[in-house]
Amino acid sequence: MLSEKHLPAFYALGALLLVVLPWILTAANSSYLISTATRLVIFAIGAVSLDLLIGYTGLVSFGHAAFFGVGAYVVGILAFHNFEDTTVLGFDGTLTGLIVLPLAIVISALFALIIGALALRTKGVYFIMITLSFGQMLFFLFVSLEAYGGDDGMMMFEGRNVLPVIDLNDRITFYYFCLAIFAAFFAFCHRLVRSKFGRVLAAIRQNEDRMTSIGIRPYSAKLLIYVIAGAGAGLAGALMANHTEFVSPGLTHWTKSGDLMIVVILGGIGTLIGPVMGAFVFLLLEEFLPIIFHELGMDLLKEHWRVVFGPILILIVLFAKTGLYGLIFRKNG
Amino acid sequence: MLDIKNLSKSFGALQATENVSLTVNEGTIHALIGPNGAGKTTLISQISGYLTPDSGSITFDGQDLLALPAHKRPHAGLVRSFQITSVIPEFTVRDNVGLVLQSLDNQVFQVFAKAGSDQAERAKADAILERTGLADEADSRAENLAHGQKRQLEIAMALAADPKLLLLDEPMAGMGVEESRNLTTLLTSLRGTTTMLLVEHDMDVVFSLADRISVLVYGKIIATDTPQAIRANRDVQEAYLGTHELHQEDSA
């Protein structure tokens, strides 16, 4: 087991691995996995943003995929109107990344502000239920948007968003683009949880009732982190829409919120690198379990690989108190 | 400084605060005594905003306190400590105090300022820990402190808010003789600069500190007077000595 003193070295190694990954995959004749690697970094953004709530503030939000979906739909809807040459709320559709991506962040932050303002009036299991409900409300809202494909969602026929200089339609470029955004978001969160505001969040998690008496209104602090986390998930969703060039209500389904939560718990709540490792293992199992069972000729398990996936997750969570992070690192004093 | 008028609060059939009127003068130490279950903590909670009274008014420093949300009251100079120790368990002792300083400096939402590297805050926190006898424990996690030290930290956090009026809810509860004596000395040193409303069961402490004493029994104030007069008061003696049959379970 490593001590937390080794974290910087671990970060450096992880960063190096992510940077050289496309070369390794190309060399290993598995460049199709670059798409999986891209999903990994996008998923990691979503998971890290959720851990700001679950691990750092003690807010078990079960509707985080909602903001992921909002971010994705901003990209999808603007692409749709650009293709159709129509307007949405008086604005032209567009593929311009410098407009679309910031807008996706702002609009998902706005949704988080509204949902958070209501949901944060509840606590504990009620908060879990109300965030779940809001997530499902958005799911059904997107299902009802017939113009945007309803149930089936919609394709981005003209490809990914357009940025100056970088060509996002090149899959290796796109991987590095997502990796850079992930790195920036990770650095931001690293700073945030060690900031004075981060200290307030930790205090709220440990003893919320004490806050009022020292002049802190927990509601305001929780709302701010909820909006930040929602914006992070929206950013991840916007990248995912670009990645798959397809958006559908399924992105906001409660099972997706569950996936994100599993990734966070699997990786280790209250850590930033934990959810990244969680995303890595989650996608690895998702990608390779069916293949392994196929090779073994176990077709039933290949079909129902989640039957094996579930117990593996349970075992890790059961035996490692802070998930994968706890398996690798010993907490300092 | 603090003016409570006709305050009432009931929980169902239980009248926890009944028509309480109480004035705490600036610069004084005002003790609130009474048997267990008399409603002392309930009264403190209404002043600090943790509970809302059913009727009556509270004026603090010239402003209507009930119109002020609970989390704004510490900023106005009204700070309470808790009878049941309530610190941030995983924080160091210094961070517990630092958090209070941060709040009172209106730095709650500083997303980029690193928590650990504010030297001014650190110096202030250390000075408060020095005063409250916790300097040696500054880097210990609060949950690892002995009970008496946690009580001291509770006081340190209250003092960090630089209160005009300090509501102390049984600050000596569970403290050893030595710690209790130290805290009495500390509170004595604040006399004149910090106004205090002190709830305490230890009568030695009460009579050595208080300028005035109010006696609360079953939600009602039965007497407010100087320590000497309270000591001689027949009603108070009855309430405390248990001659009144209703009060037999109290006062121990």
Q: Does domain B1-77+165-183+193-252 have CATH number 3.40.50.1370?
A: no
Task: List the single residue in B69, B75, B99 with the smallest CB-CB distance to A199.
Answer: B99
B80 — contact with chain A (CB < 8 Å)?
A: yes
Q: Which of A226, A223, A228, A222 is nearest to A189 (CA)?
A: A228
A215·B86 Cβ contact <8 A: no
Is position A193 within any domain? Answer: yes
Mutate: best of A189, A199, A224, partner B, most B CBs <10 A: A199
> Does the residue A110 lie in any domain?
yes
The answer as to whether A188 is a domain residue is yes
The region that residue B61 occupies, defined by phi over 0 for left and psi between -120 and 50 for alpha, beta otherwise, is: left
Give the count of alpha carbons within 13 A of A312, CB side only.
15
CB-CB contact of A66 with A256 (8 Å): no
Q: What is the 3-state secondary structure (H, E, C) of B51-96?
A: CCCCEEEEEECCEEHHHCCHHHHHHHCEEECCCCCCCCCCCEHHHH
Strand order in the sheet with B220-225: B78-80, B165-169, B195-199, B29-33, B212-217, B220-225
Report the pLDDT value the prediction gives residue B241, as an integer from 0 to 100. Answer: 57
- Provide the shortest C-alpha distance from residue B118 to chain A (in Å): 9
Q: Which letter does DSSP use for residue B233 in this model?
A: -
Taking CA atoms, what residue in B is nearest to A188?
Answer: B112
On whether residue A224 sits in a domain, the answer given is yes
| Cβ contacts of B116 on chain A, cutoff 8 Å | 194
Query: Cβ A209–B86 below 8 Å, yes or no?
Result: yes
* Domain total in chain A: 1
Tally C-beta pairs within 8 A across A and B.
Answer: 96
CA angle B160, B164, B170 (to 5 degrees): 70
Q: A213–B82: do the CB atoms touch at under 8 Å?
A: yes
Tell me if A261 is assigned to some domain.
no
The token duo for A93 is 């559709």
Tell me, yes or no, if A331 comes closer than 8 A to chain B by beta carbon: no
> H helices of A85-170, where?
97-119, 124-144
Nearest to A213 among B80, B111, B114 (CB): B80
Shortest Cα distance, chain B CAs vs residue A333, angstroms: 9
In tens digits, chain B (252 residues) has pLDDT values of 999 999 999 998 899 999 999 999 999 999 999 888 889 999 999 999 999 999 999 999 999 999 999 999 999 999 999 988 899 999 999 999 999 999 999 999 999 899 888 999 999 999 999 999 899 999 999 999 998 899 999 999 999 999 999 999 999 888 888 888 888 998 998 888 899 999 998 888 899 999 999 999 989 999 999 998 988 888 888 877 554 444 444 444
Q: How far, rounded to the nearest angstrom, does the alpha carbon of residue B120 sit from its chain's CA centroid?
A: 27
Residues in chain A predicted with pLDDT less than 50, given as ranges, are 333
Q: Do B112 and A191 touch (CB under 8 A)?
A: yes
- Give the best residue of A57, A185, A214 to mutate against chain B (max B CB count within 10 A): A214
Nearest to B88 among A194, A195, A210 (CB): A210
How far away is chain A from the Cα of B110, in angstroms, using its nearest Cα? 5
Span A222-249, pLDDT tens digits: 999 999 999 999 999 999 999 999 999 9
> What's the pLDDT score for residue A333?
44
Nearest-CA distance A209 → chain B (Å): 9
Q: Which of A143, A119, A1, A7 is nearest to A60 (CA)?
A: A119
Joined tokens for residue A221: 């602090």
A211 vs B contacts (CB less than 8 Å): 71
Q: Which of residues 220-239 of A touch B (CB under 8 A)?
A: 220-221, 224
Q: Distance, in angstroms, between B6 CA and closest chain A CA?
A: 24
Best of B72, B83, B99, B150 to mutate (most A CBs within 10 Å, chain A):
B99
Question: What are the CA-CA distances from residue A288 to residues A36, A153, A292, A308 (Å)?
Answer: 11, 27, 6, 12
Range of the domain at A181: 35-253
Q: Do the domain assignments include residue A82?
A: yes
What is the helix, strand, coil percentage profile of chain A, to 5?
Answer: 75, 5, 20
User: Which residue in A194, A213, A221 is closest to B108 by CB distance?
Assistant: A221
Q: CA dist B237 to A239, B16, B201, B206, B215, Å?
A: 75, 21, 15, 15, 10
ipTM, two decimals, is: 0.88
Q: Does B48 touch chain A (CB under 8 A)?
A: yes
Q: Kindly state whether B74 is in contact with chain A, defined as any CB-CB distance less than 8 angstroms.
A: yes
Q: Are B29 and B41 in contact (CB under 8 A)?
A: no
- A332 contact B CB<8A: no
Q: Which of B95, B103, B107 is nearest residue A214 as measured by Cβ atoms?
A: B103
Q: Is A86 helix (H, G, I), strand (E, B) or coil?
A: coil
Q: Does a structural domain hold residue A192?
A: yes
**Are A135 and A65 a contacting pair, CB within 8 Å?**
yes
* Longest distance between any two alpha carbons in chain A, whole Å: 63
The two structure tokens encoding residue A52: 């700001």
- The residue to which tokens 């009603």 are assigned: B235
Task: Please list the residues that pair with A201 across neighbouring strands.
Answer: none
| A333 → chain B, closest CA residue | B141
pTM: predicted TM-score of the whole model, two decimal places: 0.92
Give, in degrees to the nearest 5, the angle at Cα A271 between A270 and A277. 125
Q: Where in chain B is the domain with CATH 3.40.50.300?
A: 1-77+165-183+193-252
Helix/strand/coil (H/E/C) assignment for every residue in B183-230: HHHHHHHHCCCCEEEEECCCHHHHHHHCCEEEEEECCEEEEEECHHHH
Could you tell me if B49 lies within 8 Å of chain A, comparing CB atoms?
Answer: yes
Closest residue in A to B70 (Cα–Cα): A212
Among B172, B168, B167, B136, CA closest to B152: B172
Residue of chain A minimizing CA distance to B80:
A213
**Of B86, B88, B103, which is closest to A215 when you measure between CB atoms?**
B103
